[in-house]
Every structure is written in C-alpha cells, then in structure tokens.
Amino acid sequence: MADSLSATARTLTVDLGPRSYDILIGAGILSRLGDEARIRFRGRRLAVVTNATVAPLFLDATRRALVEAGYQVIGIVLPDGETHKNWVTLQSIFDGLIANRFERGDGLVALGGGVVGDMTGFAAACHLRGVPFLQVPTTLLAQVDSSVGGKTGINHALGKNLIGAFHQPCLVLMDIDTLATLPKRELLAGLAEVIKYGVLWDRAFFETIETHLEAVLSGDPGLMIEILHRSCAIKAEIVAQDEREQGVRALLNLGHTFGHAVEALTGYDQWLHGEAVAMGMVVAARLAVRIGLCPPDEERRMTALIGRAGLPVRLPVHPVEAYVEAMGHDKKVEAGRIRFVLPERIGRTLVRADVDLDAVRATLAACMA
C-alpha cells in the first residue's frame, strides 16, 4: 500500500499563491517523505531538527526516507520541552546549520511536536535570511494546528510566542502512525485544538466529535484521518483568507488569551498548551455568557465536551490580578485593550475589544478550581 500515496493519504492545499503548499495526511506515509519532498524541494541537503524524545522513535525512518530520495541529511537533536522553546535552543539549531555550512539552497525538516515545529520554522525563517522547511508533525496538536499556517517562534519569559516570524513550510506530511507512541495526555491536549475548530467555525464538526468521541479516543484510524483532514481544512481556509492575522485568523486564538496566561503563570511546565487552551475556551465561553453574547446552554455543551475529553475545565488558582497582568503581555493586546475571542454559539465566534475588565475579573474568579 505504501507505493500508492492516493490509497493511504488525503491531500489538502493551503492556497497562498506563490507560498501555497500541500498537507498530506495518512497512515504509514512517513516512508514517502523523501519522494514527496523531492517533488517540492530541489535542494541537496536537509537538516532534520527533532528532540531527544522523538529522535529515537522516528529519526532513523525519516533519515532513511530522505536519503533514499537522494538527500544528504544531518540530524539536530534539541532538548525536549516547552521550557526549551527559547533563544538558547534556537542558537543550537543555528550552530548545527552553520557548522555544517548549510547554504541558501539547503533546507530544514521539523520532526516532532509544536515546540520543535515552531523553533525549526523560526530557524528556517532566519538562517541566511530564510531557507525552505518541511513540517513532519508527530503530535496530534502539531498535526491539526501548529504545523499548518506558518506561525513560527519562541517564548519570552514574559509571554508565549512573543518572538517569531511568519514563514510557510513547503510541505506538511503527517503520518497518524506516529501517534501510536504519543502519551494519552498529549493526545487529549491535541483534541482541545480539534474541539476548538468545531466551536469557532463548524458546528457540524463539533457534533461529529461529540458523537464519536470514544472512537476518536480509541484511535480509530479512519476517523483520525477524517478529523485531521477537517481540522486542517478549516485552518487552511482561514489562513488562506488571512495569512498574517489581520482579521479572521484571530479567531484561531479562541481560548489562547486565557490559556497563554495560565502557561505564563505556571512557568510553561505544569500544563500542556492544549490543556491551557481547553481551560481558556471554557473561560471565554463563560465570559461570553456573562456579557450576554452566548446562550448558557451552548456554553454548557462546550464545557461538557471538553470535560468528557478528559481536559481541564477549571483554572489553576492564582490572584485574578495576576491573570489580568499576564493577559496584558499577550500578542492580542491592541492599543492597551485586550482583544477577546468569544463564542456567540457553537460554530460562530467573534473578536471583541470592548469587554469590561470587571466582567473578565468576575469570570476568572468563578472559573478557578
């Protein structure tokens, strides 16, 4: 079956004119990476950037697929973890590229979750003022979200992803077989971003997840491919409309204003990004109810699905003012006002910059564990 990509994979295109690229989704398709890369990247050498957890699992297979297609390959292995998504780790990628004399015609491959993907993409955006890169996401979260759309970057101690660049990959190849080794907690964190697409864009998709949650959690391959496909299709549609987040792309940040505050307040090492987004979606929905934007029944239904998916629905306890201060460092602040992404109902979301901070404070207080 591996000979025929069409039999094992589904393809989507992110339509961005000269920066357009394909997303390949399937089972057992990592072995096709070299051939698929060849069609899209003519260079001679590729640096596969990964981390210490993913390298023993997939670096050999990735290297083999690329070498068989005629590439020279080096591996750059980073320490694992969100706490390493910083300048020091980024510098080590540049060290590897420069020591190996990587040129403009060479490229990078991000093999791993969103942390590796964001840092590799940023390194690719900066090295020699920009070289091509490919995304090979191996977490559910990276497959449905971070590998698509070209947002790359690192964290600052005062806030998430504050330093970065837009830099689109030339191919995204996701093999659902890589999810077999993913810890359950990480899988659930990815599911938070899947649920997010239903809430912000597609009520029918939300209902599909509601109906088939147990099958999704059991790893049903056909369903998983469908879920990746629909999630990526929604993201591709939004990114094609608004590549640099001047408008509709902001909706993808549903749950992130509160979620990023949770991550910053807890030092990036207690809660997974997807878990923080899950809590953030619940707070956003409750805030929307409080200001009369969203019917309470809709909020209850969203919160129920997030809870059924084994995700946290209560915020960790911190002073309300600490949350407000942390949210003030978010990228979504404009002219000192926090721009909240709020659901009007399941499947429809909007951005509001006029929300009374006292309503935010009251909602935060009511949402703490």
Could you list the active site residues? 129, 151, 193, 235, 245, 249, 253, 256, 260, 273
Token digits of residue 248: 């509709």
Judged by CB, which is closer to ligand NAD: 139, or 363? 139
In the complex, the smallest distance separating the C-beta of residue 52 from ligand GLY, rounded to whole angstroms, is 25
Angle (CA) 97-100-102 rounded to 5° is: 55
Q: Which does 249 bind (CB under 5 to 8 A by kind): ligand NAD, ligand GLY, none?
A: ligand GLY
Partnered with residue 142 across adjacent β-strands are none
Task: Give CA–CA dist 288/293, Å, rounded.
Answer: 5
Is 273 annotated in some ligand binding site?
yes
The secondary structure of the chain in percent helix, strand, coil, rounded to multiples of 5, reads 55, 20, 25
The DSSP element (H or E) to which 229 belongs, if any, is helix 221-241
Identity of the amino acid at 324: V
Q: Is position 53 an interface residue for ligand NAD (rule: CB under 6 A)?
A: yes
- Tokens 């792309």, residue? 249
Is 22 annotated in some ligand binding site?
no
Work out the number of other CB atoms within 10 angstroms of the CB of residue 6. 8
Task: Give CA–CA dist 178/223, Å, rounded.
Answer: 15
What residues line the site for ligand GLY (CB under 6 A)? 145, 149, 151, 249, 252-253
The DSSP element (H or E) to which 161 belongs, if any, is strand 159-166
Max intra-chain CA distance, the chain: 60
Draw the binding track, 67-106, toward ligand NAD (x: CB under 6 A; -: no contact).
-------------x-x--x---------------------
Q: Is position 236 an interface residue for ligand NAD (rule: CB under 6 A)?
A: no
Q: Helix (H, G, I), strand (E, B), or coil: what is residue 22?
A: strand
Q: Which does 161 bind (CB under 5 to 8 A by kind): ligand GLY, ligand NAD, none?
A: ligand NAD
Angle between helices 273-290 and 184-201 (to 10 degrees): 30
Residue among 9, 14, 33, 54 that touches ligand NAD (CB under 6 A): 54
Judged by CB, which is closer to ligand NAD: 96, or 149? 149
Q: Which does 50 bind (CB under 5 to 8 A by kind): ligand GLY, ligand NAD, none?
A: none
Task: Give CA–CA dist 145/96, Å, rounded.
Answer: 27
Judged by CB, which is closer to ligand NAD: 107, or 113? 113
N-to-C CA span, the chain: 49
Decide if 243 contacts 16 (C-beta within 8 A).
yes
Q: Is position 273 an interface residue for ligand NAD (rule: CB under 6 A)?
A: yes
Is 184 annotated in some ligand binding site?
no
Task: Give CA–CA dist 331/253, Å, rounded.
Answer: 10
Candidate ranges 25-33, 136-144, 224-232, 321-329; the one touching ligand NAD (CB under 6 A): 136-144
Q: Which does 116 bind (CB under 5 to 8 A by kind): ligand NAD, ligand GLY, none?
A: ligand NAD
Q: Which does 178 bind (CB under 5 to 8 A by kind): ligand NAD, ligand GLY, none?
A: ligand NAD
Task: Give CA–CA dist 159/262, Å, rounded.
Answer: 10
List the helix and strand counts (H, then E) for the chain. 14, 13
Is 136 annotated in some ligand binding site?
no
Candidate ranges 6-14, 25-33, 182-190, 221-229; the one touching ligand NAD (CB under 6 A): 182-190
Cβ-proximal residue to ligand GLY, closest one:
252
Q: Is position 200 an interface residue for ligand NAD (rule: CB under 6 A)?
A: no
Judged by CB, which is closer to ligand GLY: 249, or 286? 249
Chain positions contacting ligand NAD, by CB under 6 A: 51, 53-54, 57, 80, 82, 85, 112-116, 118, 138-139, 141-142, 145-146, 149, 151, 160-161, 178, 181-182, 186, 189, 272-274
What residues are designated binding site? 80-85, 114-118, 138-139, 151, 160, 178-181, 193, 256, 273
